[in-house]
Amino acid sequence: MNTTINNLPKSLSYTFHRFHILIFVIVVLGALTVAVYLLNQILVKSDQANGYTAQTSNTTFDTATIKRITELHTMDDPSTPIDLPVGRINPFVEQ
């Protein structure tokens, strides 16, 4: 029995030396799994309102804004041609 206790540090050292990369990978993947799980729990809990009601204000448009919106034309309406200043060419038109 005394010989097995004396050989225990040597056998543990050999086992750790043989499997150190595998142990490292398992520890790192476990830590990443725990981190992702905890971040997921934080995100799920932050989505809950917990009785919070957002305060909304009743916004109204002034009549000038409503008039400008109604004057906008759609794509079906013919557009008016753009008059370029003299001496200028339109770079978007082929000549």
- Per-residue pLDDT reduced to its tens digit, 12-49: 888 888 999 999 999 999 999 999 999 999 888 876 66
Q: What is the tally of structural domains in the chain? A: 1
Task: For residue 17, tell me if it sits in a domain.
Answer: yes
Cβ-based neighbour number of residue 7 at 10 Å: 11
- The answer to whether residue 76 scores a pLDDT higher than 60 is yes
Q: Where are the alpha helices (DSSP H) in the chain?
A: 2-47, 63-70
The token pair at 35 is: 């981190």
The residue count of the chain comes to 95
> The pTM is what?
0.43
- The answer to whether residue 82 scores a pLDDT higher than 80 is no
Task: For residue 32, tell me if it sits in a domain.
Answer: yes
- The answer to whether residue 56 scores a pLDDT higher than 90 is no
Phi, psi of 27 (to 5 degrees): -65, -45
- The answer to whether residue 50 scores a pLDDT higher than 80 is no
The token pair at 16 is: 């750790």
Task: For residue 1, tell me if it sits in a domain.
Answer: yes
For residues 19 and 27, what is the distance between their CA atoms, to the nearest angstrom?
12
- Domain limits for position 5: 1-45
